[in-house]
Chain A
Amino acid sequence: MHELPITQHILEIVLRHAQQADAVRVTDIYLVIGQLSSYVDESIQFYWDVLCRGTLAEGAQLHFEPVKAEVACQTCGARSPLAQIGQGCPQCGSLRLKVVAGEEFYVRAIRVLTADEVQEEA
């Protein structure tokens, strides 16, 4: 459900950057989504297909770039996947852990078509 407002934000960001670049079309959008951000690719795609209609980004392909959640041990410094810390740091057993990856949620880049100056003159 909450992917609807999120997808609107994505569209706003994409269109703003596309317009700044004088793009005539957006063909691809690269989204970095950390595992901890709790957004579902399929839901974003579902709302995207509806929201992008009639905009510069209509039909643009969404590319989801997932980032696995990782913790860093504050005692020994080891990095481990969040999924493996049931009983503390897998290296030293410490209970002092800090999430260092997996919270990402941003538009990394877009691929656009721009009208060539030559064509514009013609």
Chain B
Amino acid sequence: MSVKVISVLENILQANEQVAAENRARLDAAGVYAINMMSSPGAGKTSLIEQTLRALSPQMRIGMINGDTSAASMDAERGAQVGAKAVHINTGGNCHLEAHMVRQALAALDLSALDLIIVENVGNLVCPSGWDLGVHARVVVASVTEGDDKPYKYPNMYRVADVLVLNKIDLLPYLEFNVDYFLQGVRLLNPEVQVFQVSCRTGEGIPAWAAWLRERARHSALP
């Protein structure tokens, strides 16, 4: 017997990244823009999706892929009620979506009949940040009720965001939430991030967010 050390240098997430690249290619071929929406539980992902659909549909045809750790599909149903073609993924207890789950969901949607897909990740500020799903932008939804220290405590999630939507700003008068301190924590590690401040309850700020999304989707559409 002899002992041998073999250099491996292989990324452990490579299998996921391969599937993510396939998902992206598939979306691009169909001219569909897709976003991965992430947040802690209760920040308002589903409410933001509802507001987004009210603002963009029916001019835009929108699909929704909704990940939950259980069979409870009420979020997908909420999306369907406001006109989304919704697919529910039960992650079976898994704390985040992975690219292969999104691949399966994409197969259940008619991409030729869609302009935009919103993937609603499992509510969790840690694990989803590490998994590329093959979409075009990562949108992190934060809410003022969570406290202004979250970017400092969960740097990874705020660092990977292309867009940050700060929700529930109608509650700011009642809370000790320092918007500048919060945004400084985000921009420290992510100076390029695009920020929208909204209230899904009052509708404030939704038009600017919806306009950004519409513009992005238009760029992705097939000529």
Among B171-179, B184-192, B193-201, the stretch that binds chain A is: B184-192
B191 to chain A, nearest CB (A): 5
Contact with B along A62-93 (1 / 0, CB 8 A): 00000001010010000000100110100000
Task: Check: A121 CB closer than 8 A to any chain B CB.
Answer: no
Task: Check: B159 CB closer than 8 A to any chain A CB.
Answer: yes
B93 to chain A, nearest CB (A): 7
Which residues of A approach B to under 8 Å, CB–CB?
A: 1-2, 5-6, 9-10, 12-14, 17-18, 21, 23-24, 27, 31, 36-38, 69, 71, 74, 82, 85-86, 88, 95-99, 105-116, 119
Interface of B is mostly: mixed
Which residues of B approach A to under 8 Å, CB–CB?
A: 1-15, 93-96, 98, 126-127, 129-130, 152, 155-156, 159, 184, 187-189, 191
Q: Which of B6, B130, B155 contacts A37 (CB 8 A)?
A: B130
Interface of A is mostly: mixed
Q: Is the beta-carbon distance between A105 and B189 smaller than 8 angstroms?
A: no
Residue numbers in B under 8 Å from A111 (CB-CB): 3-6
Q: Which of A95, A99, A113 contacts B2 (CB 8 A)?
A: A113
Residue numbers in A under 8 Å from B1 (CB-CB): 24, 113-116, 119
B97 to chain A, nearest CB (A): 11
| Assembled-state Cα–Cα distance A109/B91 (Å) | 32
- How many CB-defined contacts (below 8 Å) exist between A and B? 100
Q: Which of B8, B14, B188 contacts A97 (CB 8 A)?
A: B188
Q: Is the beta-carbon distance between B15 and A9 smaller than 8 angstroms?
A: yes
Q: Taking CB as reference atom, which chain B residue is nearest A107? A: B8
B153 to chain A, nearest CB (A): 12
| Assembled-state Cα–Cα distance A12/B188 (Å) | 37
Q: Give 27 A-B contacts (CB < 8 Å), ordered by A residue.
A: A2-B94, A2-B95, A2-B127, A13-B8, A27-B3, A31-B12, A38-B129, A38-B130, A38-B156, A71-B189, A95-B184, A95-B187, A95-B188, A98-B189, A105-B11, A105-B13, A106-B10, A106-B12, A108-B9, A110-B5, A110-B8, A111-B4, A112-B3, A113-B1, A113-B3, A114-B2, A116-B2
Residue numbers in B under 8 Å from A31 (CB-CB): 12
